Chains A and B, each alone.
Chain A
Amino acid sequence: MVPILGNITLWLSLFFAIFQFFISKKNKKIKSIKIGIFGLLACSIISFFLLMFLHVVSDFSVLNVFQNSHTTKPLLYKISGVWGNHEGSMLLWILVLTIFNYFIYKLYNNNNSILILKTLEIQAFITIGFILFTILTSNPFETMSPIQNEGLGFNPILQDPALAIHPPLLYIGYVGFSAAFSIGVATLNLENNNNIPWHRYMKPFVIAAWTFLTIGIAFGSIWAYYELGWGGWWFWDPVENASFMPWLLGTALLHSLLVVEKKKSLQSWVILLSILAFLLSVLGTFLVRSGILTSVHTFALDPSRGIYILIFTAILGSYSLILFGLKSKKYFNTNYFSFFSKEGSILINNILMVIVCSTVFLGTIYPLLIEAFTNNKISVGTPYYNSTIVPIMIPAILIMGIGPILSWGKVDIFRTLKKIFPNILLTGVITLLVFLYYQSYSFIGIVGIILAFWIIFNNMTLLFRKKENLSSGMLIAHLGIGLLILGITGSSVWQIEKIIRMKVNNEIKIEKYNIAFKEINQIKGPNYIALQGSFFVYDEKKKIIAKLKPENRYYPVTNNFTTETSIHTNLLGDLYIVLGEGNIDEGWVVRIYYNPLVAWIWIGALTIFLGGIVSMNYNLKQIRRLS
């Protein structure tokens, strides 16, 4: 019964999306469009919660539940299991799409009706594409017979709180760019003499998408850090890149929107960015779900899905980009501006972000290009990304520190120098102190620390001075970037790794910690059994500061092994222990990492998120004033 209801609501949402598409195309009355918007929203909410219900009650007559759930699974993971698989995650994607659809509709008023109607038409087209994809190739409500008593279980490494909220946050990011895309394409369709401030409508969506993409990526990263047990938090996996690329373009888009607002420049550039950011989001989905690349995230290897998404991307991409080629000329202007100005710094930031994005894109698809043309297989790894991206990021971050201080138009170089001089001095002093403390002189380390404090001090002084009339959301987000760089530098330059075989009662020293292996026990969890090591951590004065208990878990249902790292964290660094294989006679292989300053990565990401929220709030208020 419930699966049938689910199917009905899914088909109904397709109907409402088609309805919305045609009605907004014909510029009918807003009342009839309202039916489409609310029908679509209601149907997608209902179908999403129906699937959640099926997962919670463990209805194994549904193939999707059977394949991904199990009665012994904790409730939280029964719920997160809904979007922990390909079919269910498509329902979540559709849900977020329709919520954004609703927000676009909320912007409607008599002055902007042409723009918003066109936007809703394009948004409806995107929604139709994804609903059709779900119904045709990945229907989560597909039933099976005979009905099984027990499900196959859910991949245990996905049973984790951070990973439960990672996909929803990430999807708000990806799908948020769909709204920017639709507004961009609608703008291209406007007649010449329309004076609708389209960029003002685009901005809150871009901020929302970017903010949630940031925090979504951060949660994925945290998860990888403590769950995979590889000692790091970013691996340049194709799927990580697929989220990083829209983030980079989103960063460029966010900043150029300011230039459009203040200077009426860069309009066609902004439209192009809004198109590309969403296309990259969809292309990322394609790369992950078609099985064309192998990655740790690979969902389901079904070529028919790949072909579908590819065709859909081709339609979206060629329509929008060809339209851009034909119509963007009217948004060109010849306002040149000076290098030493806020808009100049934003333009340089844009160019650098696009270069970084292209570099990541090239690295991600290079193995595919090579295979298509030469039939050889290669893989592109971390060394490529480190050696190409770090040098481009350095000037970008240097400029980022000074950008907010510069004024629009002409800048008095002398006055600016006077303003930033104390910060240059402070940065220098702190960097010196850091190196006196760590006694380590890596070049990249020096550069990273300088950059981090450069950003932190510049934004701190602006935040507290507060007379510059700058958006505090922006300053908070920039401050977050500074903290993030601090964490990235610390953890990648000064990481200490020790892999040793330890028997019970052995001791080892890492950094300033003495670690003693006390005991190893078998324990039982709700749906797993585990071997748990117990490590006591002492400081230099032999005082005990932490007891770390890494585990090796075995999940009998799915027949999986996972490692649970145990981490002692403080603001200076993380002590990170992974229990490997072994036995009582020969001891266990233990991997111990000292990861300096990692906590600042998460603090930084949270700060950026906070800044984004503040800024979103501010922009929504402005829009309300507009109508």
Chain B
Amino acid sequence: MIKKQLLTLPSIFFLLILLIFFYLLIIDRNPSEIPSALLNKNVPKFETTSLLTEKKFISSDIFRGEIKLVNFFATWCKPCRDEHNYIKLFDNQEALEVIGVNYKDNPQKAIKWLRELGNPYSNIAVDKKGRIAIDWGVYGIPETFIVNSKGIIKYRHAGPITKKIYKKIIFIINEIE
């Protein structure tokens, strides 16, 4: 004969699971935030050309000194357009340099796009074949990374920057300083 207490097990189990869901709903979390395998590691080395100046873009020369915000973008990516205003806000931030990586894009279109929307990037690396993005572990643009003054990746955000993410990134930058 089955004990009567056993019959209450489904309800207890069910409520426990709901409690966990409830906790996850109310805490401040972002399900699309994925930890990067490169976190606290050096930025991958790469060489390419600069979009606007067409000079050489050598990563080891760029990633030192100031804190860098690295933003992967393309003109064909709609969320990139949406987050562009936040990228411009980062440009106003002191002691922070914003680096763009133009991902699988047409350079002419990208230049036109920046002329139209404004250019917040101090330097833009051309990633025509998506090779740099692979090294950085990017799986969909836009993606944004923070690199400290020693060239070490401290933060990664996948997806467009929203108000909440913007505040978080500012907080992290201040913390690194």
Q: Which of A293, A318, A324 contacts B7 (CB 8 A)?
A: A324
**Beta-carbon contact of A321 and B1 below 8 Å:** no
B29 close to A (CB within 8 Å): yes
Q: How large is the interface on A (under 10, 10 to 19, 20 to 34, 35 or more residues)?
A: 35 or more
Tell me the nearest residue of chain B to A290, going by C-beta: B25
A303 close to B (CB within 8 Å): yes
Residues of B within 8 A of A365 (CB): 17, 20
**Beta-carbon contact of B76 and A561 below 8 Å:** yes
**CA of A367 to CA of B104 in the docked complex: distance in angstroms?**
32
Residues of A within 8 A of B76 (CB): 559, 561
B34 close to A (CB within 8 Å): yes
Tell me the nearest residue of chain A to B6, going by C-beta: A325
Tell me the nearest residue of chain A to B25, going by C-beta: A306
**Beta-carbon contact of A279 and B31 below 8 Å:** no
**Beta-carbon contact of B8 and A322 below 8 Å:** yes
Tell me the nearest residue of chain A to B77, going by C-beta: A559
**CA of A31 to CA of B21 in the docked complex: distance in angstroms?**
43
Which of A314, A321, A334, A368 is most buried by chain B, counting CB atoms within 10 A of its CB? A321
B95 close to A (CB within 8 Å): no
A472 close to B (CB within 8 Å): no
A64 close to B (CB within 8 Å): no
Write the nearest CB–CB distance from B107 to chain A, whole angstroms: 14
Residues of A within 8 A of B35 (CB): 377
B134 close to A (CB within 8 Å): no
Tell me the nearest residue of chain A to B17, going by C-beta: A365
Write the nearest CB–CB distance from A378 to chain B, whole angstroms: 10
In chain B, positions 17-32 with a C-beta closer than 8 Å to chain A are 17-18, 20-26, 29, 31-32
**Beta-carbon contact of A321 and B10 below 8 Å:** yes
**CA of A326 to CA of B35 in the docked complex: distance in angstroms?**
46
Scoring A residues 579 to 611 as 1 if CB is less than 8 Å from chain B, else 0, what string do you get? 001000000000000000000000000000000
Indicate whether A317 sits within 8 Å of B14 (C-beta atoms), given known contacts A294-B31, A581-B104: yes
**Beta-carbon contact of B10 and A325 below 8 Å:** yes
B62 close to A (CB within 8 Å): no
A45 close to B (CB within 8 Å): no
Q: Which of A314, A329, A372 contacts B23 (CB 8 A)?
A: A372
Residues of A within 8 A of B31 (CB): 291-294
Residues of A within 8 A of B10 (CB): 272, 275-276, 321, 324-325
Q: Which of A290, A329, A558 contacts B4 (CB 8 A)?
A: A329
B122 close to A (CB within 8 Å): no
**Beta-carbon contact of B11 and A292 below 8 Å:** no
Q: Which of B2, B4, B8, B24 contacts A292 (CB 8 A)?
A: B24
Residues of A within 8 A of B172 (CB): none
B165 close to A (CB within 8 Å): no
Residues of B within 8 A of A276 (CB): 10
**CA of A325 to CA of B8 in the docked complex: distance in angstroms?**
5
**CA of A275 to CA of B13 in the docked complex: distance in angstroms?**
14
**Beta-carbon contact of A372 and B24 below 8 Å:** yes
Q: Which of B7, B25, B104 contacts A310 (CB 8 A)?
A: B25
**Beta-carbon contact of A322 and B1 below 8 Å:** no
**CA of A279 to CA of B11 in the docked complex: distance in angstroms?**
11
Main DSSP-derived SS at the B contact region: helix
Residues of B within 8 A of A306 (CB): 25
B15 close to A (CB within 8 Å): yes
**CA of A192 to CA of B15 in the docked complex: distance in angstroms?**
28
B131 close to A (CB within 8 Å): no
Write the nearest CB–CB distance from A298 to chain B, whole angstroms: 9
**CA of A307 to CA of B22 in the docked complex: distance in angstroms?**
7
A332 close to B (CB within 8 Å): yes
Scoring B residues 41 to 52 as 1 if CB is less than 8 Å from chain A, else 0, what string do you get? 000000000000
**CA of A268 to CA of B6 in the docked complex: distance in angstroms?**
13
Write the nearest CB–CB distance from B158 to chain A, whole angstroms: 10
**Beta-carbon contact of B4 and A322 below 8 Å:** no
Write the nearest CB–CB distance from B38 to chain A, whole angstroms: 15
Residues of B within 8 A of A291 (CB): 31
Tell me the nearest residue of chain A to B27, going by C-beta: A372
A369 close to B (CB within 8 Å): yes
Write the nearest CB–CB distance from B73 to chain A, whole angstroms: 14
Write the nearest CB–CB distance from A191 to chain B, whole angstroms: 19
A328 close to B (CB within 8 Å): yes
**CA of A303 to CA of B24 in the docked complex: distance in angstroms?**
10
**CA of A303 to CA of B23 in the docked complex: distance in angstroms?**
12
Chain A-chain B contacts (Cβ-Cβ < 8 Å), number: 74
B78 close to A (CB within 8 Å): yes
Residues of B within 8 A of A558 (CB): 78
Write the nearest CB–CB distance from A335 to chain B, whole angstroms: 13
**CA of A314 to CA of B2 in the docked complex: distance in angstroms?**
26
Write the nearest CB–CB distance from A331 to chain B, whole angstroms: 11
Which of A294, A324, A329 is most buried by chain B, counting CB atoms within 10 A of its CB? A294
**CA of A292 to CA of B2 in the docked complex: distance in angstroms?**
37
Q: Which of B7, B21, B22 contacts A325 (CB 8 A)?
A: B7
Residues of B within 8 A of A307 (CB): 22, 25-26
Residues of B within 8 A of A321 (CB): 10-11, 14
A223 close to B (CB within 8 Å): no
**CA of A328 to CA of B25 in the docked complex: distance in angstroms?**
33
Indicate whether A324 sits within 8 Å of B15 (C-beta atoms), given known contacts A294-B32, A310-B25: no
Write the nearest CB–CB distance from B34 to chain A, whole angstroms: 7
**CA of A515 to CA of B2 in the docked complex: distance in angstroms?**
64
Scoring A residues 345 to 357 as 1 if CB is less than 8 Å from chain B, else 0, what string do you get? 0000000000000
Q: Which of B11, B17, B33 contacts A324 (CB 8 A)?
A: B11
Residues of B within 8 A of A334 (CB): 1
Tell me the nearest residue of chain A to B1, going by C-beta: A334
Write the nearest CB–CB distance from A178 to chain B, whole angstroms: 17
Residues of B within 8 A of A560 (CB): 78
Residues of A within 8 A of B14 (CB): 279, 317-318, 321
Residues of A within 8 A of B18 (CB): 310, 313-314, 317
A507 close to B (CB within 8 Å): no
**Beta-carbon contact of A310 and B22 below 8 Å:** yes
Residues of B within 8 A of A329 (CB): 4, 7
**Beta-carbon contact of A322 and B11 below 8 Å:** yes
Indicate whether A314 sits within 8 Å of B25 (C-beta atoms), given known contacts A322-B8, A325-B10, A328-B7: no
Write the nearest CB–CB distance from A129 to chain B, whole angstroms: 15
Scoring A residues 559 to 570 as 1 if CB is less than 8 Å from chain B, else 0, what string do you get? 111000000000
**CA of A232 to CA of B32 in the docked complex: distance in angstroms?**
24
**Beta-carbon contact of B1 and A559 below 8 Å:** no
Top 6 A-B residue pairs of the complex, sorted by shortest distance between their CB atoms: A321-B11, A325-B8, A325-B7, A559-B78, A294-B31, A321-B10
Partner-A contacts on B (CB < 8 A): 1-2, 4, 7-8, 10-11, 14-15, 17-18, 20-26, 29, 31-35, 76, 78, 104
28 contacting pairs across A/B (C-beta < 8 A): A286-B21, A292-B21, A292-B31, A293-B31, A303-B25, A303-B26, A306-B25, A310-B25, A314-B15, A314-B18, A317-B11, A318-B14, A318-B15, A321-B10, A322-B11, A324-B10, A324-B11, A325-B10, A325-B11, A326-B7, A329-B4, A329-B7, A332-B1, A332-B2, A372-B24, A377-B33, A377-B34, A581-B104
17 further interface pairs, Cβ-Cβ under 8 Å (given A294-B31, A303-B25, A328-B7): A275-B10, A292-B25, A292-B31, A307-B22, A310-B18, A313-B18, A317-B14, A321-B14, A324-B11, A325-B8, A325-B11, A371-B24, A372-B20, A377-B33, A559-B76, A560-B78, A581-B104
